[in-house]
Amino acid sequence: MTTYMKCVLLPGVIVIAAAMLLSGSPAWSMNPAEADITMPNRGPVALDDDCGDCMIDYTGLRWSGTGGQGGRGVIYWPGGSTGNNYGQMCFASTCEFADPLYAWCVDLYHPVETSNYGIDIFPAVVTDDSCRKTQLTAMAYLMAWNFPTSTFEDDALQIALWKLSSIRDGGDNDGLPHFCFDTGRGYPAFNDTPVYPFVNTVYGSNVPRNDWANSRVLEAIGKNVMLPGDSLTDTCEGPFIEGDTATVTLTFCVDRGELAGLVNDTCSENIKLNLLVQIGANDPELMTVYTDANGCITIDVRQPVENPQPVYVRLCTKSSWPVGLTGCDEATFDENQWLVLSLDPVEICFPFEFPGDKWLSVELASFDAYTTIDGVDLQWSTASESNAERWEVERCLTGSDQFELIAQIPAQNSATGATYQFADRNGVAGSTYDYRLIDIDVNGTRTVHQSIASARFGSVSGAVLEYSLADAYPNPFNPTTSISFSVPEASLVQLRIYDLSGREVASLVNGMVSAGQHSIEWNAENLPSGTYFYSLNAGNFTSTKKLMLLK
């Protein structure tokens, strides 16, 4: 059995039943030698009980000083105060807690002082009470985003945690967060009219420490955190082209995971994220953002239409969550006393990359060329089109860079994309040509797409040189579309249609097919609108493509 020796900073001793809060945040506390413990435990450490998830035992207390006159202040709360300065409460434990731990207020008359006991560990769960609902998320935010760099900040952070804690007096307000309880003390001055949140219900007489704590509490209340298992989804809108500049709107939304559901943290508003945006090789832009009521952030990214660069986005956040401890043996555990520690704060990052094509008036999805008996058939599809006017098709002999215009085709300008076909019948049989596409928007801006499609022009024998599956045309369709494929030799061919669940909804070809090009018309009149997939299996060749039925 592994035993961990822990000491936690303690802002004073009180004699009412109250809570202790433990946090995995970095602290300035040290594990003192046994000789340094000024209030040692009265009994031996014996962590050999099988009760609970693990064992914990109080071993002693070391003061950093005594008396509020020491300069670090007196702590006040409803029903009491302490003039003792901050100390370290030390434990021996078989629990794998973060080290060092924080503690805010503890009842030294609790059995933990004299008896080791087993504990059960559980995540603290958000309640639906209007005031308490923000308590745990505020604690988590405070733990995740504050990193003390001095004894002053360490003291003040513990006061802040105490301000976010609950009243534990067994009375009518037991369990009510201190910041929800009006004691008549205003902020920043005590004689100000008290308003929610009541941050001075717990306060320290050391004004700088108390003000630091209040500023952190006011920042934390209403905030939230992401948790391990959460993710970010992304969507794009645009481009919106004005002159020679294109704007794409990027939206990122929090998708809560299993742990968030377990602790009932279903809200995803006001989560802090550090955002990095980099366009190509340019210097990155850094900013801090917060999610909106839908758990989303939205940014507009602008860049020139001519030669747009890929865009890199990185969103990072800090995560922590309070975890509760209760004694498993009720005979040695006072239910008015409870312990809370935090999951170790971790950084969670989500990288995204968006190709420069998204800032073009047209986002090209595919471009293919197929040899036919009397020439070459071209087919291309787009993922989106905005402000597009027409296409230009250019051709050159393979190995040459002297492209020439061979066709102009009106753009469909569909926001959801479109499919195009062109038959090139004016070439030299047996020659191999390279083809490229140029789109021209309504402002006359020309975008040369880098994708090159190559094919041999015509075939005297009519022979097909390779297996291929063409894009269906039209696509999207309603209710019929044509699917073309080629096989270079007589082959056993299967051409089937599947829905999104993987269920086969149609079998168009299932048998021997002669060498050459083939085209099959599919009628989906009896099927609902949606996404479908068509799959070709021939010899060792397999290819699957997507169809969109829109009725």
The CATH code belonging to domain 464-551 is: 2.60.40.2550
pLDDT at 20: 32
Residues 6+ apart with CB under 8 A from 435: 367, 369, 376, 378, 393, 394, 395, 424, 452, 453, 454, 455
Residues 6+ apart with CB under 8 A from 151: 28
Mean pLDDT (whole number) for 119-123: 54
The per-residue pLDDT for range 362-375, each reduced to its tens digit, is 888 889 888 888 88
Locate 388 and state its tokens. Answer: 């597009």
Q: Where are the domains of the chain?
A: 231-319+345-354, 360-463, 464-551
Q: What is the rounded CA–CA span in Å between residue 92 and residue 144?
A: 25
**CA 42, 46, 52, 54 torsion: positive or negative?**
positive
Q: What is the rounded CA–CA span in Å between residue 189 and residue 484?
A: 79
Question: Does residue 272 carry a pLDDT above 80?
Answer: yes
Q: Do domains 360-463 and 464-551 have the same CATH topology?
A: yes
Locate 298 and state its tokens. Answer: 């939205």
The per-residue pLDDT for range 156-204, each reduced to its tens digit, is 887 888 888 887 777 788 778 889 999 898 888 888 999 999 999 988 8
> 231-319+345-354: which CATH number, 2.160.10.10, 2.60.40.10, 3.40.630.190, 3.30.465.10?
2.60.40.10
The CATH code belonging to domain 360-463 is: 2.60.40.10
What's the whole-number average pLDDT of the chain? 78
pLDDT at 98: 45
The residue length of the chain stands at: 551
Alpha helices in 72-229 (DSSP H): 135-145, 151-163, 207-220
pLDDT at 37: 55
- Name the residue with tokens 């609970």: 52
